[in-house]
Amino acid sequence: MPSSHAPVRRKVTLIDIAAACDVSRATVSLVLRNSPLVNRHTRERVQAELQRQGYIYNRAAANLRRRTSSSIALVVNDLGNPFFAEFAAGVDEVVGTAGFVTLLGSTGESAERQQAVLSSLVEHGPGGVILSPAEGSEAGRVMDALGPQMPMLMFNRELEGETPASAPWDILMLDNVRGAELATEHLIAQGHRRIAFFGGHTRSTPGQQRRAGFLAAMKRAKLKVPGSYLVESAPNRLDAVRASAALLDQDPVPTAAVCYNDAVALGLMLELGRRGLRPGRDFALTGFDNIDEAALVSPALTTLATAPRERGRQAARLLLARLGHPQEHGQCTTVPVELVIRESSCPPPAA
């Protein structure tokens, strides 16, 4: 709903330029878009005047008249999370290069807030929306906020509830299943038998998929996974430290863990250190994301590279490609992730 916003002082418009050059607004408009219809002399006079008066193009007015858009809405959970910050940087890079502007919104991982953010952003007329859904966000509510026509791309997570067949959206997902399989297979190849899956929430899409990949690889290797070897945590370092006890206070204790992500793995490494266990020597672990720190921490962390900035670029490219073709929605892209082997995934102490 409208609210009162800041007044703007009178700006230079086409009318001012047209009057000063003694031509019509139409001619100035054509000059602005470098139309070949305007003769050289007129064009130069107009351009000089545009410069002189400090004319600033009003893209909103042009968009209104042409019924076009020059913005893309980007809604992420939290820019404080480097994964999303990098993703946003990638999106903005491509969006900007394409001559669009990025409308930013963040949800703080709250479906309620996401609803408000989407409702606000859509009023600004974005050409499309890139959404990294908050946990628990439902397809129906998102559609309510954005309307049935809006080109959309979901990143990283699926919406809950039924997908309306009338208006599917594009999806860009990491291959979480395969990634967790790769990490698990690597630890098995190193000789581990008692391997746990540590961290993340079961209810999130990536959490489910990474667990599924882990369990699939374990099953193929005919290795048992006790229920107590599946330990949940919030997907951040602090909560991982807290949750580490549930992982390590077991008998028999696992010799290795596939961690939900790097943040969680780093938290586990901290707790191992506190207990006098050296990660990469007394305990093997892998992460997911390949954040900068993974290469720099000691021991360096074996992890799965997801290249979030490149994913952002890719998301923007996919959405921009859709802008002219609303009927073609529904494409799902799964991006392979790459195992980066470093020191943390050592063989088991006994081996």
Partner DNA sequence: CTGAAAGCGCTTACAG
Residues making contact with DNA (CB under 7 A): 2, 10-11, 13-15, 22-27, 29-30, 32-33, 36-43, 55-58, 61-62, 64-67
Least Å distance, CB 157 to a second copy, is 19
Nearer to DNA, 252 or 324 (CB): 324
Q: How far apart are CA 312 and CA 174, in angstroms?
A: 12
Least Å distance, CB 8 to a second copy, is 5
Residue 30 touches which of a second copy, DNA, none (Cβ within 5-8 Å per kind): DNA
Q: How far is CA 226 from the centre of its chain?
A: 33
> Which element (helix H / strand E) includes 203?
none
Nearer to DNA, 5 or 224 (CB): 5
Residue 78 touches which of DNA, a second copy, none (Cβ within 5-8 Å per kind): a second copy
Least Å distance, CB 272 to a second copy, is 12
Q: Does 300 bind a second copy (CB under 8 A)?
A: no
Q: Does 305 bind a second copy (CB under 8 A)?
A: no
Euclidean distance between the first and final Cα of the chain, in Å? 66
Residues 260-289 that bind a second copy (CB under 8 A): 266, 270, 273
Least Å distance, CB 74 to a second copy, is 7
CA distances from residue 31 to 23, 27, 28, 54, 91 in whole angstroms, order as listed: 11, 6, 5, 15, 31
CA distances from residue 206 to 174, 210, 277, 308 in whole angstroms, order as listed: 8, 6, 29, 14
Q: Does 208 bind a second copy (CB under 8 A)?
A: no
Residue 350 touches which of a second copy, DNA, none (Cβ within 5-8 Å per kind): none
Q: How far apart are CA 242 and CA 255, in angstroms?
A: 19
Beta strands in 166-298 (DSSP E): 170-174, 195-198, 230-231, 256-259, 284-286
Residue 325: is it exposed, middle or buried by C-beta count within 10 angstroms (0-12/13-18/19+)? exposed
Residue type, 253: V
Least Å distance, CB 343 to DNA, is 58
Nearer to DNA, 44 or 328 (CB): 44
